[in-house]
A and B are shown apart, each in its own frame.
Chain A
Amino acid sequence: MPESITLQVTRYRPENESEPVVQEYEVPRRQDWVILDALNYIKDTLDGTLAFRWSCRMGICGSCGMNVNGEPKLTCATFLTDSGAGPIRVEPLANFPVVRDLVIEMSDFMDKLPRVKPWIVRGKEKPLSEGEYRQTPEQLDEYKQYSMCINCMLCYAACPVYGLDPHFLGPAAIALAQRYNLDSRDEGAMERREVLSQHEGIWGCTFVGECTKVCPKHVDPAGAIQRYKLTSALEELKAFLLPWRNR
C-alpha cells in the first residue's frame, strides 16, 4: 500500500489569477483520514494559504461540501482510501460562483430558501392554555425524511438544471417546502404553492434524479419535487373544475 496519496486541489486566488489552477499536494494515505483531514493537514503543515470551509466534521453542519473526483461529497464523510491509490481531484462545489480556492458563494441559495417559508405557518395560533400541537408517529413519518436536510447544497452542485438556469428554485428548497407542506401542524401550503408552482419552481425540474443520489442525508429531493408536481397538477385541476371553491 502506498504511503502517500496525491490531492489535486483547485486554487483560485482572485488577486493573482483570472481562472482557477490545479495545485498538487502529497499527503499521508491514512486509513482513518477523510478528505477534510487531508485538507487540514495541508493547511497546517504544507500550505497555510489554502482556503476551504468546514465546521463540525460529523456530517451535520453541511459546510464542507466539495466536488471530489467530480462528484459532490461531504469531505468529512469521504475517506482517502475510497479513491484507491489516487490521485484525488478536489474542486469547489459545481454550479456556484467561486470566491476563493474551495470556497463558493452561497447567497443565491440563502436567498431562495426563505421564499418557500420553511417554517410552520398557522392561520391562527391556538392559545398556550390549550397545550402543544400533538402529532402521531405516522404523521411524523410523513415528513421526517425531508426534515433531515442539512443545507449542504450538494444537490445544487449535482443538478444540471440549476447549472444551466440559476433561476431554478432547486432541490433542497423544494424538499424543505414539502417538509412543511406534509407536516400535520402546518397550514401554509397555499402560500408556498405560489412559489413552488412557477416555472422556476417544480416545473423547471426535468427529473434527472442526481440530487437524490448525492444527498448525504437520504432526503430524496427528486422524489419530493415529483410528488409536489402531482399535488400541484391536482390543485390546478380542482381550481379549474370547481372555480367557486376558494381563489
Chain B
Amino acid sequence: MTDKPSYTEFHPRWYRPRMSTYWWVKKRAHLAFILRELSSVFIGWFVVYLVLMIRAARGPATYQAFLGWSARPIVVVVNLVSLAFVVFHAVTWFNLAPQAMVIHLGGKRVPPLWIAAANYAAWVVVSALVALLVLGA
C-alpha cells in the first residue's frame, strides 16, 4: 500500500523484478487458476444459450429452428468446450469450498472432506432432479 518505503536513502539501488505478462504459463497450478478464471466466460455463454433456448420455446417452428442452429458443428464444438470448462469450474469450486466454509455442528468443526462431499452430493441430487424433469416429461 506504500509507494515508497522509507528505507530508500540507505538502499539506493534495489533491484525490482517485474512480473512477466505470461507468468501463468510457467507453473501448472497457475495455469489451472487462469483456466478456472477463464471458465467464467463459458459459464456466461451457457447463460446466454439458456436465454436463447427460452426465447425459442415460444412456438414449435422457432424451437425447430433453434434445434437446427444448435446442431451446426461450430455450435456443437463451442458447447462441448463450454461443458468441459463448466465441469472444470464446478469441480475446482467444490474442492475449494471446504477452505472457505467452516461449519460447526454440535460444538464440533465439520471435517473438510464432509463439506466437499456434501457439495458433490447436492450437485448429483440437483442434476438427477433436472434429468427427471427433462427426460421424464
Contact = CB atoms under 8 A, between A and B. Distances in A.
B107 to A, nearest CB: 7
B7 interface: yes
A84 interface: no
Interface residues of B, number: 28
B7 A105 contact: yes
A129 interface: no
A107 interface: yes
A107 B29 contact: no
Contacts of A98: 14-17
A12 B7 CA distance: 18
A242 to B, nearest CB: 24
B15 A223 contact: no
B136 interface: no
Interface in B1-60: 1-2, 5-7, 11-17, 19, 23-24, 26-27, 29-30, 33, 37
Interface residues of A, number: 38
A227 B14 CA distance: 36
A230 B33 contact: no
Contact of B24 (A115, A141, A160, A167): A160
A169 B33 contact: no
Interface stretch (B75-83, B96-104, B121-129): B96-104
A63 interface: no
Nearest to A103: B11
A213 B6 CA distance: 32
Interface string A33-71: 000000000000000000000000000000000000010
A16 to B, nearest CB: 11
B30 A111 contact: no
A207 interface: yes
A174 to B, nearest CB: 13
A157 to B, nearest CB: 11
B1 A160 contact: no
A209 B5 contact: no
Interface of A: 12, 14, 19-20, 70, 94-95, 97-99, 105, 107-108, 111-112, 115, 138, 141, 160, 163-164, 167, 169, 200, 206-210, 212-213, 220, 222-223, 226-227, 229-230
5 contacts: A98-B16, A108-B2, A169-B1, A207-B96, A208-B29
